Amino acid sequence: MNVTGLREQTGEAVAVVLGKEDLQASLPRRTDGPAFLLSLYHERYEAWARSVLQRRRRQEMPDSLIDLLIDSSLGVTPRRKYLLQTDPAVELLGEWNFDGCLALADVLPAPDVGDESAPR
């Protein structure tokens, strides 16, 4: 879809083409998840276009090691792993590298914190 976004530095209107991959890349980085999804539902794409434009214009730093250590130490129950891999929303939202994180968990130095308090 084509959306007009504004460059923050100049306020200039710029055409931004948004697609499924932009949505998948945007979701894990947002702190306003439900509000963001509601804005898309109501066809208000300007803020999303602005954030995609910013991401495209700057050199992205790779994810930090601490994020990977935290994610792998939290582990995942077999049931949760199954749900992550089979959820129908994966087609639209993407996998967010579940398999990569799970594959590295055994080689990273952060111990698994366990599932005793995990919901079943």
Parse the chain into domains and list their residue ranges.
2-57, 65-104
pTM metric for this prediction: 0.50
The whole-number average pLDDT for the span 30-39 is: 86
Left, alpha or beta for 97 (phi > 0: left; psi -120 to 50: alpha)? left
pLDDT in tens, 55-110: 777 755 555 677 777 777 777 788 888 888 888 988 877 776 677 777 777 777 77
Nearest C-alpha neighbor of 77 from the set 108, 28, 104, 112: 112
